[in-house]
Chain A
Amino acid sequence: MSDKKKERLLAELMRGDVLPEKEARVKAFLRKKGVDAARLAEYEDLWKTLGEVDVPEPSEAMHIRFRETLEEAKKQTWRAESPVPAGKKTFFGLAGAPQWAFAASLVVLGWFIGFQLTPRPERGQIQDLNARVNDLKTAVLLTKLESVSAPERMKAIQYAEDAAWDDPVRDALVQTLNHDSNPNVRLAAMDALARRVDRPGVRDALLGSIEHQDSPLLQLALADVMVALDEKRAAEPFRKIIADPEVYFSIRRKLEEAVAKLL
């Protein structure tokens, strides 16, 4: 029992876990157990020498390997979070009970509005009905983009593929691209915008978002988009990122390649 106590107290003394006011008492106990001042000094010296064992610096290759693994994991997560698998695509690209309930309510609402507009569905009335349904879809999209759940926001972005493309939708996606807390959601917003790059304001919005991105995943994805669009104005914001000393080596190298292609 007392040997165990001796071992415990010595281990605590080595690490400095013994309170200063108790140290003298602990040392007196250890002396009684055969650990005299010279032996204690020997332990302390050993403990100190242990702290002087040097370790070389790990190589840059280890850091690059980690960053590449992280980037790959992020891509896999993004793919996994892509909300609706091709085989399960449903009405408006949505799946699940709440979405079905919403879809059903749209049908009922459409029928009700249609009923109000009968007896003869004239061309203008049908267009009006379509516009109302589109407004409703846009409103739902914008609401879902405000959701606290990242998967819900991802679904909203996919929903944008089917929604009528207008300025509020574009602005909501740009806002998401620039400010969403989740990089996978930002990446999805970038993809959605990149598919509508022919629409007014989208190209400039993508260009402007480069300076907002601190995630290497987004920086590289935007570099790919800018190169595909041959958007030479992107060279400047990418140069600013490259000049940042904290940018990872592998990211810097890829951005430099993108800038070289743009010029």
Chain B
Amino acid sequence: MSPDDALMTEVRNGDLDKLAALYEKYHRPLFAYFFKMTSNAPASEDLVHVVFCKVLKYREHFRAGDGTFAVWLFRIAHNAGIDHFHKEKPFHNAENVEDLDLESDADPVGDLERKEKAARMRRALNGLTDVQRETLILSRYQGLTYEEIAKVMKCREGTIKARVFRAMETLRGLYGALEKSS
């Protein structure tokens, strides 16, 4: 049993304090997942909160043998995201992500170039379908294997790989077009 699974098992058995350790480890990856999906920091914070409320509510349903805690957590996040999408369409309307005050490098020229590329990528990501974007975000950032992502999104591993490929193809076109127009 992984350390995270052991902690969640203790939470399930009544030691709720152990959830604080899991929150410390996972709040940022979850926030990043939602932020990359929504480009909306307050909505992403709300969604992280919803996920941990659901973890508390459904803690007795956690079974370490059914998969890792991370898979269970992102499955909850995936469902919370779907609920949010249904209520809040269109999804990318909250704030201009280019205006976000993100960390900067010591090298101002390199920093500017990197920021421009990242801004282009954010815009290109927003051009993908929700399913393509989510598959790519889970594949690229969350440290989950394709098999685990398939469990999160309730489909076959082969489907995930095909989605990644098609998302990369679409992204290549969108990113290239943005690069030419800038």
Contact = CB atoms under 8 A, between A and B. Distances in A.
A66 interface: yes
B23 A66 contact: yes
Instruction: Determine the main DSSP class of B at the interface with A.
Output: helix
A11 interface: yes
Interface residues of A, number: 44
A183 interface: yes
Contacts of A182: 14-15
A52 B117 contact: yes
Contact of A11 (B17, B20, B146): B146
Interface of A is mostly: helix
A160 interface: no
Count chain A CB atoms within 10 A of each CB in B36, B168, B171 and give the residue with the most: B168
Contact of A183 (B17, B52, B102, B121): B17
B99 to A, nearest CB: 11
B71 interface: no
Contacts of B31: 55, 58, 62
A68 to B, nearest CB: 10
Contacts of B122: 53
Interface in B57-113: 100-103
Given A46-B172, A66-B52, A217-B17, A59 B45 contact: yes
Contacts of B166: 7
Nearest to A72: B56
A215 B17 contact: yes
Nearest to B23: A66
Contacts of B175: 46, 49
B27 A8 contact: no
B132 interface: no
Interface stretch (A12-20, A194-202, A203-211, A237-245): A12-20
A31 interface: no
B118 interface: yes
Contact of A61 (B35, B45, B114, B158): B45
Given A14-B168, A46-B172, A8 B162 contact: yes
Interface stretch (A73-81, A116-124, A165-173): A73-81
Interface string A43-65: 10011011111111011011101
A69 interface: yes
Contacts of B45: 58-59, 61-62, 65
B164 interface: yes
Interface residues of B, number: 48
B131 to A, nearest CB: 15
Given A73-B16, A73-B56, A182-B14, A47 B161 contact: no
A10 interface: yes
A11 B171 contact: no
Given A58-B48, A66-B52, A8 B16 contact: no
A42 interface: yes
A10 B167 CA distance: 12
B73 to A, nearest CB: 14
Contacts of B20: 67, 70
Contacts of A81: 14
A52 B72 CA distance: 27
Contact of A50 (B28, B35, B136, B146): B136
A245 B114 CA distance: 35
Interface in B148-175: 158, 160-162, 164-166, 168, 171-172, 175
Contacts of A42: 172
21 contacts: A7-B165, A8-B158, A14-B139, A46-B168, A46-B172, A47-B140, A47-B168, A49-B175, A50-B171, A52-B118, A54-B103, A55-B102, A56-B35, A56-B101, A58-B27, A58-B44, A58-B48, A62-B45, A70-B19, A183-B16, A215-B17
